[in-house]
Structure 1
Amino acid sequence: MERYGGGAISVSDYDPAWPEMFEQERARLQSVLGTPILTIEHMGSTAVPGLAAKPIIDLLVGVRQLTEVRSHCIEQLQALGYTYIPQYESWLPDELFFRKGVPGPWTHHVHVMELSNPRWEAFLSFRDYLRAHPDAASEYGDLKRSLAVAFKDDIVGYRNAKHDFVVAALRKRREDE
């Protein structure tokens, strides 16, 4: 079982400082990574106003070709204090994953992937659905709080237990379009 790095999983009330924290980190990433980066998006629960979240800023970094940026990106992000987590590639082969603040509590996660990766659209669709549906966001926040209590430091169990909610929200998002 993968353990959560900061001890027990903690879900906090929404912090209005999170968007600014994203903007500051986005600017750092853009200045260091430069032109291979096509766009950087704020994703995850900290990107949804009013939503309770683990206090970790998730950044989604879009690139044209992952193979072109792999070595450059890893070195540059390590220089900014990020740790590359290569074991995630076994279940996310088309994505590079980094954590800042290791061994926990983490402050930032960076997901680097091509814009054509289906997870790119899924991440942003889920975020946008929650932004457009405050009742769903509130329900999701309540779910996360209860799962944090139930799963304590079992981050895989916590993540898996949210899966059905995420799938249902993405289905509703498609129906809304």
Structure 2
Amino acid sequence: MTRKITVVPPQKSWAKQYEQEKIRLKEIFTRQIIDIHHIGSTAIKNCQSKPVIDILLVVKEIQSVDMHNQEMQKNGYECLGENGISGRRFFSKGGDNRSHHLHVFQEGNPEIHRHLLFRNFMNSHLEEAIAYSQLKVELANKFAYDAESYSVGKDEFIKNIDQKAQKWYDKIR
């Protein structure tokens, strides 16, 4: 059976879940970690989301991450390699009841800046967070069992926010 896409109201527990997982990840990737961040919709105030904690891990060398695949599996993660984004290592925890996604990038990868800028912009622009929430609810209702269509439906909105976020960043910098 295909996993159902469910979008829920913001949960106070999301920040705590991130902090707990951050501790585990620091124990696994001790020497490689440069930084670790809570990203994605669960890191955006007032944003409805799928109840999956997205974590961004910044490392010194992306190839070193592969040495920890077995330990990640022992901690409930599925190791999915680049999973469609060159230079990334992606891990999913929880199987059909996903709880966490880990996105690992080497220091200097432009995806790091993009993810953090998206989160920061959305946290500073409530109206955009609300619009994003509404879009995700509509898409989840329309494509409850079609993850690809759900993602494609968000794509234009996300690209638009990425552009707005970069302009915003350039102004405040």
Instruction: Calculate the TM-score normalised by the size of structure 2.
Output: 0.92
1:76 Cα shift?
2.2
Match of 2:80 in 1: 85
Name the SS of the counterpart of 1:86 in structure 2: coil
Name the SS of the counterpart of 2:86 in structure 1: coil
User: Contact conserved, 1:33 with 1:76, CA < 8 A, in 2?
Assistant: no
Taking only the aligned residue pairs, the percentage that are identical comes to: 30
Give a deviation string over 1:69-101, Cα, whole Å, max 9, x none: 322x2122112111112371xx21211111111
Name the SS of the counterpart of 2:58 in structure 1: strand
Q: Runs of 5+ in structure 2 lacking a partner?
A: none
Q: Which amino acid aligns with 1:45?
A: S
Match of 2:120 in 1: 128
User: Contact conserved, 1:18 with 1:57, CA < 8 A, in 2?
Assistant: yes
| Whole-angstrom distance in 1 between the partners of 2:64 and 2:31 | 11
Instruction: Please list, as runs of the form range in 1=range in 2, the aligned pairs for 1:1-177 lying within 5 A after superposition.
Output: 7-71=3-67, 73-86=68-81, 88=83, 91-102=84-95, 104-176=96-168, 177=170
CA RMSD, Structure 1 to Structure 2 (Å): 1.5
| Whole-angstrom distance in 2 between the partners of 1:63 and 1:79 | 21
User: Contact conserved, 1:16 with 1:49, CA < 8 A, in 2?
Assistant: no
User: Contact conserved, 2:79 with 2:92, CA < 8 A, in 1?
Assistant: yes
Aligned length in residues: 169
Q: Which amino acid aligns with 1:148?
A: A
| Whole-angstrom distance in 2 between the partners of 1:153 and 1:98 | 21
Q: Runs of 5+ in structure 1 lacking a partner?
A: none
| Whole-angstrom distance in 2 between the partners of 1:109 and 1:32 | 16
Give a deviation string over 1:5-33, Cα, whole Å, max 9, x none: 5x220000000110111001001110122
Larger RCO, structures 1/2 (Cα 8 Å, 6+ apart): 1
Instruction: Calculate the TM-score normalised by the size of structure 1.
Output: 0.90
